[in-house]
Structure 1
Amino acid sequence: MMNMTGKPVSDSRTVQTRLVLPPDTNHLNTIFGGKVLAYIDEMAALSAMKHAGGVVVTASIDSVHFRSSAKVGDLLTLESFVTYTGKTSMEVYVKVEVEHVATGDRTLTTESFLTMVAVDSDGDPKDVVPVLPESKEEIELYESARVRRLNRKR
């Protein structure tokens, strides 16, 4: 739902679960970091497209932190949402958790922030509406986004 003042973060929230399969892993049977990055980029695009109501491109992937690994048979749950908006750009937070099916234990495996830019049919940047944070986590990420944005511009 779009209004003149903006869109709530919840409109862009996207959650997806994936099974780690043998072709996704390295010689240690843990998922390739590049595979996780591809999932993260896709999730960020989905959230940004929901917010922008159209096509987006990736401008940057920054502050990727791999905290733990996932092995064959584990489940990866990815969650993403728009945390901050500029004129044409959106910062998107993506969190990845691993669930060990045998134990049910869940662990944060990866966190990342990406910048996505809305584009029109000619590939030119187009304006996006502001994002409206609602929950405590969303407000904290929104307020800290200005610092991350300044760091990106350096």
Structure 2
Amino acid sequence: MRFHTRKWVKPEDLNANQTLFGGRVLAWIDEEAALYSIIQLENKRVVTKYISEINFMSTAEQGDIVEIGIEVVKFGQSSLTLNCEVRNKMTRETIVTVDNIIMVNLDENGKPVPHGKTKIEFVKDRLEEED
């Protein structure tokens, strides 16, 4: 799994228990899944269709740095299925896991459209192909 994004847990990210608010980390996960899918599918029109069971395993506190990892599980015809792990950057302790996040590729009318992708592509490789 590749960890692409880091977040610094700030006071506004905390719940009443003074630990990382679950809703905040879920928003981070959804945003990361969208960004990852947009880059992979080369389309800005990508939406979240489904998020499976969310497993909160530990927490984070103010000042902690967490990182979000995304991995492709499957390329569908118009979708991309991902899994995700959020962990403490310093201790590597897992905070949250999500087994399946399904992102759907849309056309300009908001309808699902095939994306034609079958494997992970890296932007650096795309740039080399253009040269």
Instruction: Tell me which residue corresponds to 2:36.
Output: 47
Residues 48-82 of structure 1, C-alpha deviation per residue, up to 9 Å, x if partnerless?
A: 11121102011011121111000001011001132
TM-score by length of 2: 0.82
Aligned match for 1:87, one of 63, 77, 80: 77
| Equivalent pair of 1:62/1:114 in contact (CA under 8 Å) | yes
Unaligned runs of 5+ in 2: 121-131
Instruction: Tell me which residue corresponds to 2:97.
Output: 111
TM-score by length of 1: 0.71
Q: Percent identity?
A: 31
- The amino acid of 2:70's aligned partner reads S
CA shift for structure 1 position 131: 3.4
Instruction: Tell me which residue corresponds to 2:25.
Output: 36
Instruction: Tell me, in whole angstroms, the C-alpha distance in 1 between the residues paired with 2:3 and 2:109.
Output: 27
Aligned residues: 118
Instruction: Tell me which residue corresponds to 2:67.
Output: 77
More helix per residue: 1 or 2?
1
Instruction: Tell me which residue corresponds to 2:107.
Output: 120
| Equivalent pair of 2:41/2:117 in contact (CA under 8 Å) | no
Aligned match for 2:10, one of 10, 21, 26: 21
